[in-house]
Amino acid sequence: MSFLRNTIAVLVGLAIAGLIITLGIRAVPQWITFEAFAPFKHWESFLESMKNNNTFFWFLLFISGLGTTIGGVVTAIIVKYAKVAYAILIGFIMLFVAMLDVIIFPYHPTFYKISIFLVFFPFAWMGGKIVEVIYERKKKRQIAHKINE
C-alpha cells in the first residue's frame, strides 16, 4: 500500500509541477505565436522564436522553480515517510525532463542550460522542507498540548 501511495504522490506532484509550468508559459499572450494548444508540436518553433528573448528564459526558470516547489509540497504532503526525499525525486525527474528539452531543442541560451541544475533540486528540496517543518511544528504543539493537560 505504501508503494502505491508514494507512486501516486510522485505522479500528482509531477502533474502539478508540469501544469504550473505550462500555464506559466501561456500566461504571457505575446509569447504564444500559435493558435491550438499542442505544446510538443509547436515547442521547437516557439523556442526558436524566443532564442533572443532572455526574459522568457528567466521567467521559465522562475516558473519552473515555483512549479517544482509546489509539486514537492504536494508530494511531501501525500507521502507518509521520507517527505524531503520524495520531493527531491520530483526535482530529479523535472531536471531530467529539462535536460532532455535542452538536448533535443538547441535554442536555449547557455545561462539557462547551467541554471536548470541550480533551480530544480533546491526548489524541490525547499518544497519538501516546508512540509517537514510544518509537520514538526504541529507535532511539537500536540506534545505541548498533551503535557499541559
Residue in 62, 26, 66 with CA at minimum distance from that of residue 43: 26
Residue in 127, 118, 117 with CA at minimum distance from that of residue 85: 127
Task: Determine the structural domain holding residue 84 and report its residue range.
Answer: 2-148
Q: Is the Cα torsion angle 118, 9, 41, 59 positive or negative in sign?
A: negative
Task: Please report the pLDDT score of residue 65 as a whole number.
Answer: 94
Task: Please report the pLDDT score of residue 51 as a whole number.
Answer: 78
Task: Please report the pLDDT score of residue 87 as a whole number.
Answer: 93
Contacts of 117 (CB under 8 A, 6+ apart): 95
Looking at the 3D structure of the chain, how many domains does it have? 1
- Please name the residue that has the C-alpha cell 501561456: 26
Cell numbers given for 36: 491550438
Task: Please report the pLDDT score of residue 30 as a whole number.
Answer: 73
Task: Please report the pLDDT score of residue 69 as a whole number.
Answer: 96
Task: Please report the pLDDT score of residue 92 as a whole number.
Answer: 94
Q: What is the mean pLDDT of each run of 10 residues along the chain (149 residues)?
A: 90 94 81 62 75 86 94 94 92 93 87 91 93 92 83
- pTM for the whole structure: 0.86
The three-class DSSP label of residue 81 is: coil
